[in-house]
Each structure stands twice: as C-alpha cells, then as structure tokens.
Amino acid sequence: MTETTTKLKEILAEKPDAFLEALAEEHQVSMQAVLHSLPEGLYRAAAGEHFMALMEDLPNWGTMRIICSTPDMVYEVASSFPEGSVSRGFYNLKSTNGFSGHIKEDACKEIGFLRRPFFGKETACIMLLNAKGDCYLKVFLGRNEDRSLKQDQLEKLEALCEKFAANYPQ
C-alpha cells in the first residue's frame, strides 16, 4: 500500500462523505484510486465487460440524475436513461430530449457501485471509469418527494452489484 493510499484511506475513514473529485485532484491520483480507498462496503466494482448489460438494463429504471463531468464543468440531467444501439464503436443513445449522445463502447474498464452518505443523505450511483481510472459518467438513483432514494432503483442497483461485482477483486 502506498503512502498516498494510506492517507486517502485515513481521510475517507474519518469523512466518507468527502468530495471525491477534490481528493483525487489534491492527491494527484485517479478517481478510481480514491474510490478504492473508501471504507469497505461503500464502493464495489465490476469489470467493464458488463457495460452492454448495464446499458440494456438502465432504461428500465425510471428517472435518475445522469451526470457527465470534466474538471471544468458538470452537466446534469434528470431523465430516464435512453435505450441505444452500437454502431462504429459507440453505444448511441436514442433520445430526442433529455440525455442523449454517444458512449465509446470499449472505454469502460470498471463499473462502480457507490453507496454512501453525502450532505446528510444516503446517495447511490453507478459510475463508469475508463482505463486511466477517470469517471466519465455517473448515474445517481432517483429520489422520492421526501428525498429518500427510490427503493425499486436501490433494489436494482444492489442486484446488479451482486451479479457483476461478485468475482471482481475489490
């Protein structure tokens, strides 16, 4: 274990709701390194080879918060995840409103399942990470009017996590 990993584990043990991107930048590590430093049970990972199965499942989940971010901007949309198809190396999202675009089919090297407290509320999301360990897409579970997570989506997330992450080194 490196000195940086040890430090990240100490920070996240004390403050599991820390802003993860800021920790990655501050310690000059990938988002993946930060995620893998979270206390046990908050983050589980699966191989990117499950990308297509995930893409085929997400359109059935209902409205969620979909986030794409770069160091210079964060784009969010509350939407159902659109269906899509593969062409020319991209998974092409078929949507005329809300979230649409093209996701490079082989870019996903790890699918992350994050469930932790954040700003006093439980939060849960699916994250797609590339070969550099950067997160390029986050899909946060939807919330009820009382701000609690939608139970049906939480059950689907847990089922996918168990199915995909079972044989992946954590």
Token pair, residue 164, equals: 């995909």
**Residue 101 backbone dihedrals phi, psi, to 5 degrees:** 145, -155
* pLDDT 10s digits, 42-88: 999 999 999 999 999 999 999 999 999 877 888 999 999 999 999 99
Domains of the chain: 42-165 (3.40.1570.10)
Contact predicate 54/25, CB 8 Å: no
Which DSSP state fits 18? S
pLDDT digits (tens, 9 = 90+) for 104-144: 989 999 999 999 988 888 999 999 999 999 999 999 999 99
Distance CA 16, CA 83 (A): 33
pTM to 2 decimals? 0.93
Helix (H, G, I), strand (E, B) or coil at 30: coil
| Overall size of the chain counted in residues | 170
Strands (E), 25-170: 43-47, 63-70, 73-80, 84-87, 90-93, 101-104, 110-118, 121-129, 135-140
How far apart, in whole angstroms, are the C-alpha atoms of residue 55 and residue 105?
A: 10
Residue 169: pLDDT over 80: no
What pLDDT digit, counting tens, does each position of 141-166 carry? 999 999 999 999 999 999 999 999 87
